[in-house]
Amino acid sequence: MTADELTGRARSHVIDLGALGCVLHRDVVQPFLDLRDAARAADHDLVAVSSFRDFGRQRSIWNGKFRGERPVLDRQGRPLDLRDWPAADRINAILCWSAIPGASRHHWGSDIDVIDRSALASGATVELVPAAYLGDGPHAALNTWLSENMAGFGFFRPYVSERAGVSPEPWHLSYAPISVPALRQMTPAVLLEAWRASDIDGVEWLIDNVDMLHARYVEDIDTVDFDNRR
Ligand SMILES: [Zn+2]
């Protein structure tokens, strides 16, 4: 992928699946359709509620949270009022649930947030919270099915365990044959180039802390050894 594709500033690597409501890297389309078909055969209606997201979209989420115009939650899901906080504290709070523009795995088109649509009561809003994927939560059966089957289709979960950076996101799946090489290409220099050309709030602090941010929010993920799983 080019630097513009890696940071969501180009769409040349992705395809809009139209009726399925998602936008994926061209090499992820067929694996995703295969995963969806297999899930359906096991009575799960696997839907990607979030897929490719471009830099501009991530910037509007980021700036909205930074300015206090969008809700920001703590790790326990409680709302925070960070309007009077210094930039560094605001950014640390936002980073618990949102990626920095340019640093989201959703820019690659390889990563999706999934739900089991058949488990939602009609009219219910989609809530991406860990409890919904555990115990008797609405997406728990799909979650278990994915744990047993997704590796065979090339997918894994990059955010499973509690880490210094991103909180656990059982709904977030990643297609390894695309995202593993993308992660290797995603250096601090690539991030700096994207940030310097942008108008994201707090960008001076981001630039000053790029190495720490890259280590904590880009590189520090859960990985799967596919050679041993297959
Ligand atoms: Zn996600």
Q: How does the average pLDDT of the chain come out, rounded?
A: 92
Query: 39 CA distance to ligand 1 centroid (A)?
Result: 19
Contacts of the segment 87-96: beta carbons below 8 A, 24+ positions apart: 87/202, 87/204, 87/205, 88/205, 90/65, 90/66, 90/202, 91/66, 91/202, 91/205, 91/206, 94/62, 94/65, 94/66, 95/165, 95/166, 95/217, 96/166, 96/167
pLDDT on residue 203: 96
Query: 121 CA distance to ligand 1 centroid (A)?
Result: 22
Range of lowest pLDDT (44-58, 119-133, 160-174): 119-133
Query: 148 CA distance to ligand 1 centroid (A)?
Result: 20
Query: 106 CA distance to ligand 1 centroid (A)?
Result: 6
- Ordered by start, the domain boundaries in the chain are 3-229
Cα–Cα dist 50/174, whole Å: 12
Query: 196 CA distance to ligand 1 centroid (A)?
Result: 25
| Tens-digit pLDDT profile for residues 26-65 | 999 999 999 999 999 999 999 999 999 999 999 999 999 9
Interval 192-219 mean pLDDT? 95
- List residues, by chain if needed, whose CB lies under 5 Å from ion ligand 1: 113, 172
pLDDT on residue 63: 96
Position with higher pLDDT, 136 vs 203: 203
Query: 139 CA distance to ligand 1 centroid (A)?
Result: 15
Query: 199 CA distance to ligand 1 centroid (A)?
Result: 23
Q: Is CATH 3.30.1380.10 what the domain over 3-229 is classified as, yes or no?
A: yes
105 Cβ contact partners less than 8 Å away, ≥ 6 residues apart: 99, 111, 158, 172, 174, 179, 182
Query: 229 CA distance to ligand 1 centroid (A)?
Result: 23
Position with higher pLDDT, 21 vs 176: 176
pLDDT on residue 144: 97
Interval 100-123 mean pLDDT? 92
Query: 73 CA distance to ligand 1 centroid (A)?
Result: 16
Side chain identity at residue 54, one-letter code: D
pLDDT on residue 230: 46
Interval 186-192 mean pLDDT? 97
Interval 83-106 mean pLDDT? 93
End-to-end alpha carbon distance in the chain: 26
Cα–Cα dist 58/127, whole Å: 19
The residue whose two tokens read 């949102």 is: 98
Query: 84 CA distance to ligand 1 centroid (A)?
Result: 28
